[in-house]
Amino acid sequence: MKLLKNYIYNLVYQIVAIILPLVTIPYASRVLGAEMIGINSYTNTIISYFVLIANVGLTTYGNRTISYTRDSVLKRSQKFWEIFVIKIIMALFSLALFFTFTCIYREYTTFLYIQSIQILATAIDISWFFTGMEDFKRTVTRNILTKILSAICIIAFVKSREDLWLYILILVLSTFLGNLTLWTYVFDAIEVINFKSLQLKEHIKPVFVLFIPQLATTLFLTLNKLLLGNLSTLSQSGYFDSADKVIRILLTFITAIGTVIFPRLANSFNRGEKRNVEELLKLSFGAVNIIAFPMIVGIMVIGRPFSILFFGSEFEGIEIVLGILSIELIFMGWSSVLGNQFLVAINKTKGLTVSVFIASLILLISSFILIPMLGASGASISSVIGEATIALVQLYYVSKHTRLCLLFSDISKILVSSLIMGTTCLVIGSYFYDGIMKLCVQGTVGLMVYCIVIWYSRTEIVNTILKKIKR
């Protein structure tokens, strides 16, 4: 029952995370334009490497560690303070590297300095503690309030292309303040300890073991944005970044169940409950498939009318980029379950590291070939190839610990249900002109058709969810 409650909390957040960008992204696209969006994407990509150093794998590690020790107030308090102190040290180190970098790299310095607030936000972020405790109510409340506040501020204060600095400031300050608010809750769950008793050394090796795959992942996720800014144009970077934001919004909805299941899965593994681990893995993987496939088909069907309405006339042709990137959803969903959940939970991160490094190499080669020729579309194709590589390599490593046939038992039923939905949407769409009415009718009818078909197909994931609700 707790899993269901946590999923509902997370689901509410995902709904807000979907609704608000439906306002802010079209607004920012029209006010700032493709080039300014591209500058934001480029500078944010640069700062993400310093954020990575500041975090150094501690979010995932902290989540897992607290999951292991949450039953003891003393143990979880000890681990909390040890992990937090390491975060502060790494954040200071990252800031020193950043200021050194800005002494050498002189472009977009104003925007980079504003973006660097993200490093401070990372330093004080303790959301990993509440996730490990399976206390999603507090993090969800925080996230919803900060996102609403930032959306209001963007619409109220960002009025022209010259306001790019203000747009960035609003985004980074909302993250910082949101992370700060969690400190008002944490002392209800932990105790202040004698800092002389801190044992930092025991965390160094496991933290850096997790840092390596996260480094590879960050390089993988940001490489195309960096290359677009250098091999193509900032406008093409803006195209890719805008389409990617839509995909990331949808991805958070797909991975919501995984966020909830991970601490439970890690705790079950720590207790030696192998059967429960397999059941949780199957549940999470099935949830990804049942959500991702209809999303991909839906984007393919409504891509053009949605793009015209959502991004505006300056982003003509972005529907191609969006359609290509949508294929990522299934592969990113799979790797989220296989790598970030299962392999991390059972402490087998080698597969995660190897998969991302292989994919990064393939991405680099394909991007150097495709981006100069196709711009944002080329970057999208290389991203899909890279994400597929990650998922396939991780499937190989997961196959050593569980039977893959258990994970794919429902996939044909889900795919057929999604195609029936897509066909229905195409037929209905032929009776309407492009516009919001067409999108609303297609979306509503498509969702109803998919739910009816998937219900009568009686997939295992649907049966499992019904059993959880009845309990």
Domain definitions of the chain by residue range: 2-189+201-408
Place of tokens 């569980």: 402
pLDDT at 297: 93
CB atoms within 10 A of CB 199: 9
Residues 284, 269: Cα–Cα separation, whole Å = 15
Q: What is the pLDDT of residue 7?
A: 61
pLDDT at 251: 86
* Cα separation, 359 vs 376, whole angstroms: 19
Q: Residues near 115 by Cβ (< 8 Å), separated by ≥ 6?
A: 43, 44, 46, 47, 168, 172
- Please give the Cα distance from 370 to 8 (Å, whole number): 41
The structure's pTM equals 0.71
Angstrom distance (rounded) from CA 339 to CA 287: 16
Q: For the chain of 471 residues, list the mean pLDDT of each consecutive stretch of 10.
A: 61 70 83 88 90 86 82 84 91 95 90 95 88 75 84 93 94 91 84 80 81 76 79 81 85 74 73 77 84 92 83 80 93 86 77 85 91 90 93 89 78 90 88 79 89 82 64 57
Token output for 157: 């204060």
256-270 vs 58-69: helix crossing angle, rounded to 10: 50
Residue pair 418/450 in contact (Cβ under 8 Å)? The answer is yes
Residue 272, Ramachandran bin (φ over 0: left; ψ between -120 and 50: alpha; else beta): left
Q: Per residue, what are the HEC states of the chain? A: CHHHHHHHHHHHHHHHHHHCHHHHHHHHHHHHHHHHHHHHHHHHHHHHHHHHHHHCCHHHHHHHHHHHHCCCHHHHHHHHHHHHHHHHHHHHHHHHHHHHHHHHCCCCHHHHHHHCHHHHHHHHCCHHHHHHCCCHHHHHHHHHHHHHHHHHHHHHHCCCHHHHHHHHHHHHHHHHHHHHHCHHHHCCCCCCCCHHHCCCHHHHHHHHHHHHHHHHHHHHHHHHHHHHHHHCCHHHHHHHHHHHHHHHHHHHHHCHHHHHHHHHHHHHHHCCCHHHHHHHHHHHHHHHHHHHHHHHHHHHHHHHHHHHHHHCHHHCCHHHHHHHHHCHHHHHHHHHHHHHHHHHHCCCCHHHHHHHHHHHHHHHHHHHHHHHHHCHHHHHHHHHHHHHHHHHHHHHHHCCCCCHHHCCCCHHHHHHHHHHHHHHHHHHHCCCCCCHHHHHHHHHHHHHHHHHHHHHHCCHHHHHHHHHHHC
- Amino acid 216: pLDDT: 74
Query: Given this model, what pLDDT does residue 466 score?
Result: 63
- Token readout for 408 is 């794919």
CA distance 61 to 59: 5
pLDDT confidence of residue 316: 79
Within 13 Å, how many C-alpha atoms sit on residue 332's CB side?
A: 25
Other beta carbons less than 10 A from residue 361's beta carbon:
14
